[in-house]
Chains A and B, each alone.
Chain A
Amino acid sequence: MKYQSTFPHLYNPGHSACAGCGEAIAIRHLLTALGPNTIMTNATGCSEVTTTQYPLSAYKIPWLHSLFENAAPVASGVLAALKQKGLTKVQVVAVGGDGATYDIGLGFISALWERQENILYVCYDNEAYMNTGYQSSGATPLGAFTTTTPPGKNSEGNNLIKKDMIGLALAHRVPYIATATSAYPLDIQAKAKKSLEIVGPKYLQILTPCVPGWGYDPALTVELSKLAVQSGLYPLLEIINGQFTKVQKIKPVPVTEYLKPQKRFAHLFKDEAGQQVIAKLQQIADENIKKYNLV
């Protein structure tokens, strides 16, 4: 029996992502913006595991999953082949989670940026290796519970600061850099579309709340996504050729408003040591507000 989705979507329902998954929202809107003349390479992770369980697939665009590390170089190979075929209008997008992007695949992305290839790289950032059971990544914020940074007598959760991928992209002179989040789907679409106007590498990083990994009621995905931005912890930016073209202004809320609804930060509210971590997170938010002129 051959099943054909009746929807016009390029990313179809029937996949096995959790109810309230921030990433599913992001990818659907990404593909709506990019359109059918797109080839997507995808790293191992939630985005691939939930969408392509043989013999079914959620994708109505040509799509390839190779390994955890290599969505970027596979995309480079796709682009080179398209050039040989004279198909220069086909868009090539490489998608990976924060694990694939910040950690195991970082070197490969750096090389793609060095080669200045006309490829959009999208990182859906849920701030840990969620697919394999919520282990920490380079994107995990300070103080967060993950299964490899569990709080206890000797620990307040993750003791490392989230890696600055935007700074890295700037250092590589990536001509289009942007951050977005699931709560603002039209912003995701606008930024994806805008990125295509630039010839060269583009980097779009989307904060995508994870229901089981962050520990919250599935109905709160959009609200939490907004709070991440409004607290200053996750600035929404667009940087074209090193100039800030879009900065989402905020009416800052204390980081505690954002942290409180999430189980992954619950331990920070229990003692003095936890309060110190919250203070440090507030400091990071305040620094962002100043650095990016968020107010």
Chain B
Amino acid sequence: MKIFIGGLKAVAQTVANCQPQVISAYPITPQTHVVEELAKLKSAGKLTAEYIRAESEFSAASIVLGAAATGVRTYTATSSQGLLLMTEVLFNIAGMRLPVVMTCANRSVSAPINIWNDQQDSLTVRDAGWQFWYAENNQEACDLHVQAFKVAESTQLPVIVNLDGFVLTHLTEEVDIPEAAKIKRFLPAYRPVEFLNPQKPQTFGPLVGPADYFEIRQELHEDLIKSQKNTLQVGREFKKVFGRAGNTLIDGYKLADAQIVLVSFGSVIGTMREVVDELRAKGVKVGILKIITYRPFPTELIIKALAKAKIIAVVEKDISLGGQGILATDLKAHAGQKLKAPISSFVVGLGGRDVTKETIKKIIKLAPKATTTAVTFVG
């Protein structure tokens, strides 16, 4: 059903339509609209989940961990400081193979304290064993949440769906909210394999020594890599049922014959599309590689997509302090040796600094001569 609605309110209604059974969250700007909308839906009788107001994000994450381990569908949401506060629990949830779904409204990280959008928060915890997905717009944000529950439950690996704070979360635009009835056809009831059950007692979270820990972590890693197949499969199913593209791990825009390729993720892709159209009209062969799934890193697809590029400019709203942009680093590490083009790292938009068409045009101008061994900041 298409309505004119704020980004996180659309996400909240979508999540409610997915019928989670236990929700717990703690408010933090700019995620607050989702916890407030869910509270509204609960008090209006439109949400049957247990909704627990936690006293911190660490607690909220622990509550959904306990609920997921008891075999029900769970959901939480956070940003920035809250995400970092629950870092311990994130590793714990993934390590215990619990299919929690989380929304992260991407926001910068203190200090200095700043409530506006960048992508530092989510990338800081990319090693935790969760699947990381990034939405370009609010329609995609809603659609990714629906797929997230299905992929998480079929892979026993949790999923974080990311959308840019304020830029998307507080943007009011037309969104087709996936309907509950259609979601029910697409997303079966959760049937956990193992869960806390007095009829079949099991021990979760034992102490594992050097003799066994290694292979358990290896298995987690390999399952995360394999989850790409599940994501693509679920994405295809999503398209059949809802008529819109599902998660294809990556996407390209005017990529096929592009000589200069911008690699990026999140809402900035929208701005880039307009710039690419303008420059293409002037004969500049520029294109975009959009990353939708960041973890597991879709290396093979990326290598294919960038095979013909002459110049690669990675554009992102984050920095591994003392290093380069995190996506740039990942791209070089995973695919760099198989790609002919030099890869340069551009950092934009930190702390909500507006990323305009001029910013992107400047990067495209700088890209051919940009250094590959250090970051270029474009504020």
Task: List the interface of chain A (C-beta within 8 A of B).
Answer: 36-39, 41, 48-49, 52-55, 57, 59-67, 69-70, 73-85, 90, 107-108, 110-111, 114-115
Contacts and interface: CB of A to CB of B under 8 A. Distances in A.
Contacts of B279: none
A80 B197 contact: no
Contacts of B70: 39, 77-78, 81-82, 85
Contact of B197 (A54, A62, A77, A84): A62
B92 A81 contact: no
Given A54-B212, A78-B70, A107-B56, A66 B63 contact: no
Interface string B331-344: 00000000000000
Contacts of A62: 196-198, 200-202, 204
15 contacts: A52-B206, A63-B196, A66-B62, A66-B89, A66-B92, A69-B88, A70-B59, A73-B63, A74-B65, A74-B69, A75-B66, A81-B68, A85-B70, A107-B56, A108-B62
A110 B55 CA distance: 9
B39 to A, nearest CB: 15
A73 B72 contact: no
A83 B22 CA distance: 10
Interface in B102-158: none
B231 interface: no
B209 interface: yes
A67 B198 contact: no
Contact of A80 (B63, B204, B207, B209): B63
Contact of B66 (A60, A73, A85): A73
A285 to B, nearest CB: 35
Contacts of A55: 206, 212
Interface string B80-116: 0000000011001000100000000000000000000
Query: Shortest 4 CB-CB distances between A and B: which pairs?
Result: A77-B66, A81-B70, A65-B205, A74-B66
A81 B198 contact: no
B64 interface: yes
Interface in B171-230: 196-198, 200-209, 212
Nearest to B92: A66
Contacts of A37: 198
A74 B50 CA distance: 14
B238 interface: no
Given A67-B89, A78-B69, A57 B63 contact: no
B206 A85 contact: no
B59 A111 contact: yes
Q: Which of A38, A60, A75, A76 has the most CB of B within 10 A?
A: A76
A70 B207 contact: no
B62 A81 contact: no
Given A66-B65, A81-B71, A59 B55 contact: no
B19 to A, nearest CB: 10
A65 B202 CA distance: 11
B89 A107 contact: no
A53 B198 contact: no
A66 B69 CA distance: 10
Contact of B68 (A49, A77, A114): A77
Nearest to B206: A52
A249 to B, nearest CB: 38
Contacts of A64: 66, 69, 196, 203-205
A32 to B, nearest CB: 15
A200 to B, nearest CB: 16
A66 B56 contact: no
A53 B62 contact: no
A206 B301 CA distance: 58
B29 interface: no
B207 A52 contact: yes
A80 B92 CA distance: 19
B54 interface: yes
Nearest to A48: B207
A13 to B, nearest CB: 16
Q: Which of A64, A82, A107, A115 has the most CB of B within 10 A?
A: A64
Contacts of B89: 66-67, 70
B21 A84 contact: yes
B58 interface: yes
A62 B192 CA distance: 15
Nearest to A85: B72
B66 to A, nearest CB: 3
A63 B22 contact: no
Contacts of A108: 55-56, 58-59, 62
Contact of A78 (B59, B67, B201, B208): B67
B216 to A, nearest CB: 9
A197 B220 CA distance: 42
